[in-house]
Structure 1
């Protein structure tokens, strides 16, 4: 049972959390000339490459293919980056954790929040591309926040579980890299399941919370309509379950971390 002490030190250590987020945002591109501008350039270039490569196969059947791919890519990339970063966060903070007491959940939380910031920066790229491609803005665009928030909680829960496992089982890193590659192709980033996937297999996409977030994101941006309530409910349920399980697993194992770092 998780008690209130798990969160009790949050206020006391919030300065450390903000410093970790700041460090995470700056250290990634510290030796580059453009610095944090790469947070804008990376999703734009990656999406353009995907749109160019797969455009020959799918562009004719998908309206505004560039925006379609961009939404899928930045959403998938957020989840993959947040969970991979959180997985390595405890081991990455070993030098501090071995010396002083710090609430250990601060580390995976800081990674998740850092990637949320990067995700929000990617929204600037999305807005620019919408203007360039003449994709109309609508009031429904604001509803994109719903699947995004649910995905953020889901990513945090997954990050807690992965961080706990990685301390004891290093091979999970390589297994998870393979999984995220499969996830990219299973999240319909550059194709439409309504025309490319047989009906009997579509249910498997709807069981993928990342795809659910991407699909609802596209509904609000590309198609100017309310998100699919079934997918939202499924996202909410899976996010709640994964966060609770993640907190329990992390809380039950955190006292043993120091023995394996």
Structure 2
């Protein structure tokens, strides 16, 4: 284990350069630059709030904030995994030339997405203050669901990046999958409106538990329940173990398929 830690520390400067490169590429030639990280969730919040609170008449208190909180969690998972799944293929030229721990490319995308996550979280706090939503002390516990979604995304990203090297079609299908997953995650609707069978399917979705935990600490002054923490921990450990195993077993053949 110490060897892995020493190896990671050795390549930390490279990780910093990769994160910096990812951010620069994303906002290259953009006038507002990183400021778009704040604007994007706010614009989507406005659109979704108008559609679902006016047309579909979802009766949820502070619905715009409700929607934005769901976006913070789901959009991070979507952005980080979508960006990370192609990292090995995109960096094939570098991988062929020199030895680099290949997991660094995946981690760099996760870290750059975490920066956007913090910006989105800041936007959420600003909107809550603007709408005079009370901030409870439990907001400090938001670090728990945020850490869980980051680790869940890392596990999923390791898995996706490994299998994408051999099966490139996954990159094209993943967008469709994420669209379906969004509707199976309570981002824009309350769980109470769902029929029992549909609610069961939504609850199986690992993002759901984390999202509901995030809303509880942000709005409802609730400390995460032991059940929720155990479920979240088990789900995160499963995805991390699966992703690490598949990535480790596949990395030696990456160079043959890039």
| TM-score clears 0.5 | yes
**Interval containing the TM-score (normalised by the shorter chain):** over 0.9
Secondary structure at the aligned position of 2:10 is classed as coil
1:239 correspondence with 2:236: yes
Secondary structure at the aligned position of 2:254 is classed as helix
How far has the Cα of 1:8 moved from its partner? 4.2
Alpha-carbon distance between aligned partners in 2 of 1:204 and 1:145, rounded to the nearest angstrom? 26
1:199 correspondence with 2:201: no
- The 8 Å contact of residues 136 and 219 in structure 2, kept in 1 or not, is answered as no
Alpha-carbon distance between aligned partners in 1 of 2:5 and 2:174, rounded to the nearest angstrom? 28
What RMSD in Å do the two structures reach over aligned CA positions?
A: 1.5
The equivalent residue for 1:73 is 71
The equivalent residue for 1:124 is 122
Pairs within 5 Å for 1:168-247: 168-194=166-192, 196-247=193-244
| Equivalent position to 2:18, from 14, 17, 20 | 20
Query: Could you give the per-residue CA deviations for residues 124-157 of structure 1, whole angstroms, max 9, x where no partner exists?
Result: 1011100111100110111111111111111000
How far has the Cα of 1:59 moved from its partner? 5.1
Q: What is the count of residue pairs matched by the alignment?
A: 258
Change (3 A) 1:60 1:244: closer
The equivalent residue for 2:28 is 30
- The 8 Å contact of residues 140 and 221 in structure 1, kept in 2 or not, is answered as yes
The equivalent residue for 1:258 is 255
Secondary structure at the aligned position of 2:8 is classed as coil
Pairs within 5 Å for 1:50-69: 50-57=48-55, 60-69=58-67
| Equivalent position to 1:88, from 86, 89, 103 | 86
Change (3 A) 1:7 1:253: farther
Secondary structure at the aligned position of 1:10 is classed as helix
The equivalent residue for 1:142 is 140
Query: Could you give the per-residue CA deviations for residues 220-244 of structure 1, whole angstroms, max 9, x where no partner exists?
Result: 1111111243222111101111111
Structure 1 residue runs without a partner (length 5+):
none
TM-score (norm 1): 0.94
- The 8 Å contact of residues 87 and 160 in structure 1, kept in 2 or not, is answered as yes
- The 8 Å contact of residues 216 and 223 in structure 2, kept in 1 or not, is answered as yes
How far has the Cα of 1:7 moved from its partner? 4.7
Structure 2 residue runs without a partner (length 5+):
none
TM-score (norm 2): 0.95
- The 8 Å contact of residues 6 and 251 in structure 1, kept in 2 or not, is answered as no
How far has the Cα of 1:90 moved from its partner? 0.6
Comparing 5-14 with 114-123, greater Cα deviation is found at: 5-14
1:157 correspondence with 2:155: yes
Comparing 155-164 with 225-234, greater Cα deviation is found at: 225-234
Secondary structure at the aligned position of 1:48 is classed as helix
- The 8 Å contact of residues 217 and 224 in structure 2, kept in 1 or not, is answered as yes
How far has the Cα of 1:5 moved from its partner? 5.0
